Amino acid sequence: MSENYIREPGGVVAFIEKWMASQVEEAGAKGIVVGLSGGIDSAVVAAIAWRVFKEGALGVIMPCHSNPADKTDALLVARHLGLPCKVVDLTAAFDVLTDALAKGETPLTDMARANLKARLRMTTLYGAAQSTSRLVCGTGNRSEWEMGYFTKYGDAGSDLLPLLNLLKCEVRAAARWLELPEAIITRAPTAGLWAGQTDEGEMGFTYDELDRYLATGEAAPETIRKIQALQAKSEHKRRPVPSCKIE
């Protein structure tokens, strides 16, 4: 961890804990709900939420034609933390929805099908949160946000985003400071939208390369070109929804 742009994880976690507690208090909520994917981002959010809210934090695991390892790793996180957790299998709901949509005039593309999984998970989290007076806590980090590596009204749909100012390397540092299982920390990042998919494989560069560029502006010329192209292509995802203002 020699990169000088990685902030001290203990201080980062302490800041997020205070911020998360204030957000929930201001909303008059009783805690938070977080979707557990088996990945490092949701594990860090869950660990911080458990430290702040204890039983007020709830993890939800939502398999949907998923790699069984995702559920296994998510349960590992929940057991490691002692976090209250429920499993909601979305496979049947996804199949009904995609079958209904397939009967329309325009067939679903592979990417549209993949993004439906993220949007079904968002709906599930809000159902659980509203029913228990909790807030939905998102797990996106700065590196993903800058690349548009999230689904509109899917994993980006949440009430608070505690990691949005953290680079992926800082999330890893926080995970180690929080003493999360090594298998979770070293697992290849994936959105789990289709078999064999990984974040870095889809983007065409590593998170380390991306983090270095976002922090310092430095990277190989071809990597810079790819990063800037993805930033431009995804800009619409970071903007507020346009509204028509009649004058």
In a domain, 145, yes or no: yes
Domain containing 180 — which CATH number? 3.40.50.620
244 pLDDT tier (thresholds 50, 70, 90): very high
In a domain, 118, yes or no: yes
pLDDT at residue number 127 = 98
Q: Which domain holds residue 159?
A: 9-194
In a domain, 214, yes or no: no
Give residue 42's identity as a one-letter amino acid code: S
- Reported as a single tens digit per residue, the pLDDT across 81-127 is 999 999 999 999 999 999 988 887 777 898 899 899 999 999 999 99
Q: How high is the mean pLDDT of the chain?
A: 94
- Report the candidate in 203, 159, 124 with the shortest Cα–Cα distance to residue 30: 159
- pTM listed for this prediction: 0.94
pLDDT at residue number 78 = 98
Secondary structure (DSSP) of 63-116 = -SS--HHHHHHHHHHHHHHT--EEE---HHHHHHHHHHHHTSSSPPPHHHHHHH
Cβ burial of 102 (10 Å; 0-12, 13-18, 19+) is: exposed
pLDDT at residue number 201 = 81
pLDDT at residue number 17 = 98
In a domain, 229, yes or no: no
- Reported as a single tens digit per residue, the pLDDT across 173-186 is 999 999 999 999 99
In a domain, 213, yes or no: no
Residues above pLDDT 70, as percent of the chain: 97
How many structural domains are present in the chain?
Answer: 1
Q: Which residue has the tokens 């949440």?
A: 158
